[in-house]
Amino acid sequence: MREYLKFYIDGAWVDPITPRSADVINPATEAVAGQISLGSAADVDLAVTAARRAFAGWSITSREERLDILQAIQAEYARRQSEIADAIIEEMGAPASLAHGFHVGLGAGHLQTAIEVLKDFPFEEVRGPTLIRREPIGVCALITPWNWPMNQTCVKIFPALAAGCTMILKPPQLAPFSAQILAEILHTAGVPAGVFNMVQGSGSVIGTALSTHQDVDMVSFTGSEGVGVQISKDAADTVKRVGLELGGKSAVIVLDDAALAENVSGATAGMMGNSGQTCSAGSRLLVPAARMEEAIAAARAAADGVTVGDPKGNVAMGPVVSKAQYNIIQDYIRKGLDEGAQLVAGGLGRPDGIDKGWFVKPTVFVTTNDTVIGREEIFGPVLVIIGYDDVDHAIAIANDSNFGLAGYVNGLDTELVHSVARRMRTGWVSMNGGFDFHAPFGGYKRSGNGREWGEFGFHEYLEVKSMLGYAA
């Protein structure tokens, strides 16, 4: 059993000021997998003080010094990548193939991207008589979710480090193990004392203490809309910058062509990845109404083909993260049935043959865009299929949402795919499976503000200074 009872503050592993611990549950077995300490506002004060003190030196380091640190982290991350994956399997139930693949690969990708961007990032430029400088914003609070532990953590830490900021990481209480290993990696790589700090605990305590702290200059949060709104309110009194990456109800528009069945199948299987616990998941599948039966058949076959079980085995889908999340998803499935949605695959309860762990059946409904399951983020392996009359109708349905995080367009006509993508009101559109670590990621509307990934992720952690008369 893992015991992570110390916090990382000012370059050392320290005991919490007031000892208090919590169990971490393995969602596949419902057994206790380990313990973490729960921090307090006093622990946050220590971490912020260390970060503020370290900022004076780290903020004026050279590009080369920061690159040396990031490359040292990269070498250590590669050495311990398998350990991180094993921790992710244990803490949030990701299947082994996904944990050892995309989960740790996303962290490595964001680290490599930060290195690439830093090499040529224009921290200074002359415009006429004025020098424009981009300077580190200061002490940053990084608050991350449990669903993609390395992705959401690394996409914040590495750009912040590269920009010259210092930071306090608040990892997710449900999935804290991988963050602990990452903190050990940063320590071994030689990140200077106080530049990176980590305090474990509950969001209501640690997140609030960070958001309201007068010496925190910026908060970067990924998680639910409700918590993001509260963080914004808490941060308002100190007028700190707040970057939010929140929820989604992203549409997959499958165009009416010969690849429809293949694209429906791929979108269905993709939705079930990570047990549907992805903010950018394509949870609304829009298909031509005239070909609905063909789409249903393809979706049913894909959903029924998703293997569910022990994440340490050769399966496509493990459990959802917790009993609470399981119950939320079951309530949504029940609501779909009560609303009269057509159940295509899955449904209530655990998959056949599984009687322990928070496993959900890969579930597909046919419904309309005005239902609860058609509009609200379920955050589980539940896909809704919605029919459209023509391309204009498909775009109207896709944009008829409170969210605007991601979108997907799949079809054989490249020009049409591009046209549809341009009209979708989302911050990130993948066309026929496109992916790019350098592409900015973030949302419109209630999906948040700001952008992460690549060069745009650096701007989150930088202030802009004008030096007038520089070239006079």
Active site amino acids: 245
Q: Would you list the DSSP string of 282-344?
A: --EEEEEGGGHHHHHHHHHHHHHT--BS-TTSS-SB---S-HHHHHHHHHHHHHHHHTTPEEE
Judge contact between 430 and 408, C-beta under 8 A: yes
Contacts of 217 (CB under 8 A, 6+ apart): 137, 138, 139, 140, 240, 241
- 167 three-state secondary structure: strand
Burial of residue 238 (number of CB atoms within 10 Å: 0-12, 13-18, 19+): middle
DSSP-derived pairing of the beta strands 12-14 and 218-222: unpaired
DSSP run (H or E) holding 118: helix 104-120
Burial of residue 470 (number of CB atoms within 10 Å: 0-12, 13-18, 19+): middle
Cα–Cα distances in angstroms (integers) from residue 280 to residues 16, 243, 443, in the given order: 35, 17, 10
